[in-house]
Amino acid sequence: MILNNRDKLREECGVFGIFTHGSCDVVPEVYHALHALQHRGQESCGMALSDDGVITGFKDTGLVDEVFTPGRVKKIGQGQMAIGHCRYGTYGGHTRENAQPLVVRHIKGGMALCFNGNLTNTDELREELELSGAIFHSQSDIEVIAYVITRERLTAPSIQEAVSRAMDRLRGAYSLLIMSPRKLIAVRDPFGFRPLSLGRRGDEYLAASETCAFDILGARFLREIRPGEILTISDKGLESNTSHCQEETALCVFEFIYFARPDSVVEGSGVHTARKRAGAFLASARPAEADVVIGVPDSGLDAALGFAEKSGIPYGVGFIKSKYIARTFIKPTQAERENALRIKLSVISDTVRDKRVVLVDDSIVRGTTSARIVRLLREAGAREVHMRLSSPPFLYPCYFGTDIDSAEHLIANNHSVEDIRALIGADSLGYLPAEALHKLAENSGCGFCDACFTGRYPVAPPANTEFSKFDRRIHNGSK
């Protein structure tokens, strides 16, 4: 549910790459793939093409459909390879320079790069680079990554070897695509925090954050890029470097609960099915006496269906979510904020009137939207509202590519479950037990990162976030 952006987590990015043979019309392919990945980032987007070794790019703030207008698409031209990126954020137009892919020019060959994730040692790397004469145009990690690779490139025998050496220096989460004039390289950090899959269509290869990008193009899923793997796609075919692969892996479990699209398959498990399974676990662990189970659109619907099936309580459609964009003419009163929600979400009274309702959502960040939704249901005649969440409470910030950025902003960090229940005005409140998390993706062989719920960080978080990029402010030393 994306009612109020400040009250909702935002995924950081989606990446896509395609390698074809001979110059062809790849721009529509990237356009459609980014469209399928748009839920992973709505702030800005971009693509870069390699046409006979010449790399060009275009990026801007806005949705895929806004940035890549028909006129723009026509101008971009053809290519043998391309990468694309969509990014979340609300910094406004100023962040055009933070959009990706980053295209860099260098005597050893140009490069375009984009990634999904977050480095935890950015500040150290940046200081070291700047002290040896590097200048930066942006605040984004991708520029740091580009520099580290370029420095290694000066002595490495190949770009993929430069990438391998660079990985010794990069810490944190990164699912990375690199396009050199003749190669497309897909890389995943050793823990594999963020998903990255390999697809195929005829003799073409594709890489994408999620498999839904393959489906939209009529390509088929081949396999995941392995955590720690460097996969090089070139005219010679595939070449895999697994020297950074390790035993311990840590895919973000919230991909299953919220981030990924329901029709994507992650680590062998359908996301829709994983969410229904979360609902079923909830029904067992946090049961409720009720007449109907409804979900908050769109992200609570799958778990609501799972809850209904497991509990035997009928599934109902409780809300209509408007398909159309509307501004709110908000005045800063509580009543007006209620209206803002009403514009986006309408209750179907027949479903809830005089009923005991189980209301399923994926998570609570600050709680204000949940409170409003509970109130809407009561106004529509619901007798009881039992809120159920398909994830455990957020307790710890995330440093691996989501914006769960600060413990103080998380309602669960400083309130008991009972307090939260009272705050949102529900008759009962139940969270998914943390133990259930690892069972969501049934057949997966991988490990999961659940640090935001448990505080168990696979990689140490940044030591000192003072005067760092986590300030999210531009730093300019004085003189």
Residues 246-285 that bind its own copies (CB under 8 A): 261-263, 265, 270, 272-273
| Site for its own copies contains 458 (CB under 8 A) | no
- Out of 15, 55, 196, 278, which residue is the one contacting its own copies (CB under 8 A)? 55
Amino acid identity for residue 90 in this structure: T
CB of 151 to its own copies, least distance (A): 5
Q: Which of 405, 409, 311, 400 is closest to 364 using CA atoms?
A: 409
Q: Is 56 in the site for its own copies (CB under 8 A)?
A: yes
Residue 13 known to be catalytic: yes
Answer yes or no whether residue 64 interacts with its own copies by CB under 8 A.
Answer: yes
Answer yes or no: are the C-beta atoms of 228 and 188 closer than 8 Å: yes
When binding is defined by CB under 8 A, the residue of 90, 130, 168, 460 that contacts its own copies is 130
What is the footprint of its own copies within residues 336-375 (CB under 8 A)? 339, 342-343, 346-351
Question: Looking at beta carbons only, is 466 or 479 nearer to its own copies?
Answer: 479
The answer to the question of residue 229 lying near its own copies (CB under 8 A) is no
- Written as six digits, the tokens of 422 are 């009272």
Among residues 39, 244, 372, 388, which is the contact residue for its own copies, using CB under 8 A?
A: 39
Q: Which of 16, 19, 31, 256 binds its own copies (CB under 8 A)?
A: 31
Asked whether position 334 contacts its own copies by CB under 8 A, the answer is no
Per CB under 8 A, 466 contacts its own copies:
no
What Å distances lie between residue 302 and 279, 308, 390, 433, CA to CA? 7, 10, 10, 18
Contact 129, 116 (CB under 8 A): no
Residue closer to its own copies, measured from CB, 273 or 413? 273
Q: Which of 13, 114, 252, 398 is catalytic?
A: 13
The single residue among 5, 6, 21, 65 that binds its own copies, judged by CB under 8 A, is 65
Q: What DSSP string runs through 420-477?
A: HHHHHT-SEEEEPPGGGGGGSSTT--S-EE-HHHH---SSPPPS--TTSGGG-S----
Should residue 216 be labelled a site residue for its own copies when binding is judged by CB under 8 A? yes
220 in Cβ contact with 201 (< 8 Å): yes
Supply 139's token pair.
Answer: 């605040």
Strand partners for 422: none
Nearer to its own copies, 135 or 203 (CB): 135
Q: How far is the CB of 452 from its own copies (least distance, A)?
A: 25
Nearest-Å Rg of the Cα atoms of the chain is: 23
Tell which positions 133-192 bind its own copies, by CB under 8 A: 133-139, 146-147, 150-151, 154, 158-159, 180-183
How near is the Cβ of 446 to its own copies at its closest, in Å? Answer: 19
Residue 132 lies near its own copies (rule: CB under 8 A): yes
Instruction: Please give the Cα distance from 454 to 364 (Å, whole number).
Output: 16
Using CB under 8 A, which of 104, 250, 251, 426 touches its own copies? 104
Q: Of residues 384-443, which lie at the interface with its own copies (CB under 8 A)?
A: none
Buried b (16+ CB within 10 A) or exposed e, 314-349: ebbebbeeeeeeeeeeeeeeeeebeebbeebbebee
Q: State the residue for tokens 């870069």.
A: 48
Rounded Cα–Cα distance for residues 278 and 257 (Å): 8
Judged by CB under 8 A, the stretch of 90-98, 238-246, 282-290, 447-455 that binds its own copies is 90-98
Report the alpha-carbon distance of residue 377 to residue 385 in Å, rounded. 8
CB of 159 to its own copies, least distance (A): 6
If one asks whether residue 445 binds its own copies (CB under 8 A), the answer comes out as no
Interface stretch with its own copies, choices 87-95, 170-178, 388-396, 420-428 (CB under 8 A) = 87-95
How far apart CA 168 and CA 395 sit, in angstroms, is 31
Of 309, 256, 304, 194, give the one whose Cα is nearest residue 441. Answer: 256
Count of residues engaged in binding its own copies, rule: CB under 8 A: 100
Catalytic residue ranges = 13
